[in-house]
Amino acid sequence: MNNLFNLKQLLGSTGLRTAAVPMLIIMILTMMILPVPPFLLDLLFTFNIAIAIIVLLVSLYTLKPLDFAVFPTVLLLTTLLRLSLNVASTRVVLLHGHAGPDAAGKVIEAFGQFLVGGNYAVGLVVFFILVVINFVVITKGAGRIAEVSARFTLDAMPGKQMAIDADLNAGLIGEDEARRRRRETGQEAEFYGAMDGASKFVRGDAVAGIIILFVNIIGGLVVGMAQHDLDFSTAAKVYTLLTIGDGLVAQIPALVISTAAGIVVSRVGSDQDVGEQLAGQLFSKAQVLTITAGILAIMGLIPGMPNFAFLFLATLLGAGSYVLNNRAPAAQAPVAEQAVTNLAVEASWNDVVAVDTLGLEVGYRLIPLVDKGQDGELLKRIKGLRKKFALDLGFLAPAVHIRDNLELRPNAYVITLKGVEIGRGEVFNGMYLAINPGHVSSTLPGALTRDPAFGLPAVWVDSSMREQAQTFGYTVADAGTVVATHLNHVMQTHASELLGRQETQQLLEHVGRESPKLIEDLVPKLLPLGTVQKVLQRLLEEGVHIRDMRTIIEVLAENGAKVPDANDLTALVRVALGRAIVKQLYPAGNELQVMALEPGLERILLQAVHSKAGTTAGIEPGLVDTLLHEAGTATQQQERLGLPSVLLVPAELRVLLSRFLRRAVSQIKVIAHSEVPDTCTVKVTALLGSKA
């Protein structure tokens, strides 16, 4: 019973589909060995023609090559099927060809008699023309396109991967979407590589068709004259017509399959199939149709020309041009103009408008990006930015208030923080920004500019050059992505200013839902809300996330009564968060490759801190300049080695040097010895002050 149940499962729809391909391959290979009767040959030749038509139609309605990713395998299987049918039909032709034109089946007879009129000379010419078209033109061209596409796709993979990572880091896409895009990028390279190899099968099939033709004709003459006592002209006519019919019935599906291969590899990514693209791009301009109709009409009036054909087509094109010219324009929604009535009324508190914490102002050409009615893409990305910001830093940033500003340039945008501009840029909707990460293989024509977020050199290019830019190694982003990345960078940089009292209170209430007693003991019994806010802001200023609020609150609750100063509390919190701080800087391992102070310089700075109450007033100006210069040089060296720029100092110097160096060398991070976990090992890669 179990075996019977398993057999039923195997014969189910899924199991049958899984077993279909192995069964087909076994059947194809069997035809090369076992004799096939003419009736079955008719069915198989008809099946071969049907498969070719199906493949052609699927390729025409495919929007992008990866939608038909199984095509290289289909190409191999159809080629193998044609060769097997050639072998099977050759056996039948040579064994029974003397019996008449239908000895190898009705399909071969029809192709040998009807299509070429029973004239084997015409049949030979038609056969060779089909082989030349298939072999020299279509197959060779499709193979070349596949080869170049595979090469360009492989060259463009690093740029595409960087673009995916950039979107992921900016919060524009999630892990699942990033994983899907990486998989699609790899599949695209594999597809064109497989198509490059599969086209060789079709080319070999064309060569095999020519060889099989000559073998069948010569073999048929020998068999007919030696074994069946036919004279030369009769044997030549009978076996040549059968061979030509056999060749044509194989080469016509081969030509159809090759055409489908050329269509698939020559497709340009679009959301339309081939028919819609041709109708929309080739016959959509009335001016082109008018000029063509005029030229055909003039040629149709010349004596001796086929006047009816030219004038008929000129009339059709003229009618098409007339229809396009008189097509009703798309209805546009009228823009309602709101009348502004200036009434002399008394001012009130309603006239006082609060300043937005975080704002985005755009020029009028960028309104479609942020218009909810037009499904503005930037609105969705900003929602994703706030979610990623909350996951990365540990609190919810204020909402971004978006408004249009007619005083800006049409393509410009401004990012404001509490009403003050902190970022500005210019993007072009419908174009792409190709950012040079430092290792591109060629330059691109376009408007030179710089990435507004990080200041990298970039160029604005048309959408048609997107793939080429990725091939050259550029990181390509559309206008919405550029604005979203800039906004994300600004939010990360000014995170401490986005954490106001209201956000702090909401954060504590959020934590209090799980640990209400902990919050009650802290605020306001031990510390006021303002002190907690300052501690959190100090952490955010130096790039430390506040996701571990439980640890932060426990440290504040334990030390709040005896250490009221926010800076001292921040130092204690940093020690408790030491493992998270180090992991944030060194995610790869437990060896910390850091910069350190030269012992002599360290003693001088400690003396200055103790004597001047934590200021740099007691340090010589020359020593300050040397320290800044060496910090910048060491930071550049760390970046070249692919290491984070981290300076390890005693706890007494950490706050002083962090504030001092952060203004001059923004990339540098300063950590204290007490913040390094015991499980980590420290390796000093540079000493600051050794040249002082």
269 and 315 fall within a common domain: no
The CATH number of the domain holding residue 410 is 3.40.30.60
246 and 368 fall within a common domain: no
Instruction: Answer yes or no: is 290 within a domain.
Output: no
For residues 9 and 133, the model is more confident at: 133
What is the percent of the chain where pLDDT is above 70? 82
Q: Residue 381 half-sphere exposure, CB side, CA atoms within 13 Å?
A: 22
206 and 77 fall within a common domain: yes
Boundary (domain end) residue, out of 496, 512, 537: 496
484 and 362 fall within a common domain: yes
> Number of folded domains in the chain?
4
Instruction: Answer yes or no: is 350 within a domain.
Output: no
* pLDDT value of position 11: 44
Instruction: Answer yes or no: is 257 within a domain.
Output: yes
Confirm if 652 and 606 have CB atoms less than 8 A apart.
yes
The CATH number of the domain holding residue 678 is 3.40.50.12790
380 and 460 fall within a common domain: yes
* pLDDT value of position 19: 67
Say if residue 452's pLDDT is above 90: yes
Say if residue 413's pLDDT is above 80: yes
Instruction: Answer yes or no: is 667 within a domain.
Output: yes
208 and 244 fall within a common domain: yes
CA-CA distance, 307 to 186, in Å (whole number)? 55
CA-CA distance, 324 to 253, in Å (whole number)? 38
* pLDDT value of position 427: 95
* pLDDT value of position 272: 60
Say if residue 99's pLDDT is above 70: no
Instruction: Answer yes or no: is 328 within a domain.
Output: no
191 and 314 fall within a common domain: no
Torsion-angle region of 455 (φ positive above 0: left; ψ -120 to 50: alpha; else: beta): left
129 and 209 fall within a common domain: yes
142 and 89 fall within a common domain: yes
233-237, 266-270, 338-342, 670-674: which is most confident: 670-674
CA-CA distance, 377 to 474, in Å (whole number)? 23
Pairing verdict, β 681-688 and 591-597: parallel
Instruction: Answer yes or no: is 348 within a domain.
Output: no
CA-CA distance, 448 to 465, in Å (whole number)? 15
Confirm if 195 and 261 have CB atoms less than 8 A apart.
yes
189-193, 518-522, 560-564, 612-616: which is most confident: 560-564
End-to-end Cα, the chain, rounded Å: 89
* pLDDT value of position 207: 73
176 and 92 fall within a common domain: yes
Pairing verdict, β 447-450 and 457-461: antiparallel
* pLDDT value of position 646: 93
* pLDDT mean over 342-366: 78
* pLDDT mean over 234-249: 73
pLDDT tens per residue across span 546-579:
999 999 999 999 998 899 899 999 999 999 999 9
pLDDT tens per residue across span 483-525:
999 999 999 999 999 999 999 999 998 998 888 887 887 888 8
Q: 307-333 burial string, b = 16+ CB within 10 Å, else e? A: eeebbebbeebbebbeebeeeeeeeee
Confirm if 487 and 520 have CB atoms less than 8 A apart.
no
377 and 262 fall within a common domain: no
Instruction: Answer yes or no: is 142 within a domain.
Output: yes
pLDDT tens per residue across span 36-45:
777 787 788 7
* pLDDT value of position 3: 46
CA-CA distance, 631 to 629, in Å (whole number)? 5
Q: Which two tokens stand for residue 259?
A: 């055409």
* pLDDT mean over 79-107: 72
DSSP-assigned letter for residue 20: H
Residue 17 banded pLDDT, cuts 50, 70, 90: low
Boundary (domain end) residue, out of 445, 464, 496: 496
DSSP 3-state assignment of 671? strand
Boundary (domain end) residue, out of 473, 496, 519: 496
34-43, 105-114, 178-187, 507-516: which is most confident: 507-516
475 and 611 fall within a common domain: no
In this structure, the number of other CB atoms found within 10 A of the CB of residue 594 comes to: 23
Instruction: Answer yes or no: is 349 within a domain.
Output: no
53-67, 245-259, 385-399: which is most confident: 385-399
Peptide bond between residue 72 and the one before it cis (omega within 30 degrees of 0): no
Domain that holds residue 305: 297-323
User: In Å, how far are 188, 190, 326, 477, 658 from 183, measured between CA atoms?
Assistant: 9, 11, 47, 19, 42
